[in-house]
Structure 1
């Protein structure tokens, strides 16, 4: 994870959408920088901004107490993380916690008329509570767990990294969360090891 110097301190950049799946990008809002875990969600605004960037627009905005969306998003993230990690490890999935979140999510199908395009059927979510605001993301997680190819859901191979990705490459040989960070570190380390072994 990159950090940029600013007035003598290291300031973390925003989480990048590098996982090729929004649910895994959601997990990646916790990362490791300079050897320490960092949570990119520090406020309700951080959560709202990330949801909007990921395409999960909260509308209408719920009237929540300060910090409620942040608290709920962090709890939802860890519930999803536990489910993803269990499924990837081949352990039995415990659907209870996710089912509780799904039950709090309220959605329905809605027809809308588009000029020149005819009718469009889409899902519409309520957003009166923090759980409902995160409902589309929870449903996406349930869909990933039930229909995703977990051979292609992978953690980064860098042992110091905790990021996840969905390998959509043609060859399905993706190993790193990002070639520009973890992949590049591996290449540099391998190059140095080859030079050391050859006595250069």
Structure 2
């Protein structure tokens, strides 16, 4: 994606599935991979934006431990998605490491209008525990969704993934604003030549 089409201000949430949004924290910028995560704080910020933040007393980790684990989990999920898309049976061992670390409980939460909902609260004493909700999203994506609707953007310069929730299941682009319009403009210019 070119610099004018991808903002480096923050990660993209355009995939219609949290595990794929997690993968999309690496995108193409001027033909080069751009990682939205450069520190533990970047990962914490992404988790908060995704609604996956752990209990408020989450400790700080040393030496970019959370960043390292988040990138490791992202690579694991990407490999599993690619294997599944290729029709292979992925080895779940690496993902199961994160799933087995999950420690959580449910909490009843009241909203301002008096409505009640149940929220799952995750422990985040270690980086692996903090990432457990992402691992759960990935496991659900791999095992419980209509996996044929998991797609990679068709734009040749894009590496983003999405879950096609459109009625016709014909979504081709990560986003019309990012890649769909660029493809239309390129096709129009080609036709005019």
Tell me if both proteins adopt one fold, taking TM over 0.5 as the criterion: yes
1:160 maps to which of 157, 170, 187: 157
Structure 2 Cα separation of the partners of residues 194 and 175 of structure 1:
20
After superposition, residues 19-58 of structure 1 pair within 5 angstroms as 19-58=15-54
2:137 maps to which of 137, 140, 147: 140
For structure 2, the residue ranges without an aligned partner over 5 or more in a row are: none
Q: TM-score, normalised by structure 2?
A: 0.89
Report the RMSD for the aligned CA atoms in angstroms: 2.1
For structure 1, the residue ranges without an aligned partner over 5 or more in a row are: 5-9
Instruction: Return the structure number with greater strand share.
Output: 1
Residue 70 of structure 2 is aligned to residue 73 of structure 1: yes
Shift, 1:95, TM fit: 0.9
Distance 1:141 1:112, change over 3 A: same
Residue 19 of structure 2 is aligned to residue 18 of structure 1: no
Does the 8 A contact of 1:2 with 1:181 survive in 2?
no
After superposition, residues 156-195 of structure 1 pair within 5 angstroms as 156-195=153-192
Shift, 1:111, TM fit: 5.2
Higher normalized contact order (CA 8 Å, seq sep 6+, divided by chain length): 2
Does the 8 A contact of 1:2 with 1:13 survive in 2?
no
Structure 2 Cα separation of the partners of residues 67 and 22 of structure 1:
23
Shift, 1:114, TM fit: 4.7
Paired position in structure 2 for 1:3: 3
Render the CA deviation track for 1:35-75: whole Å, top value 9, x for unaligned.
10111100111111111011111222123113111111100
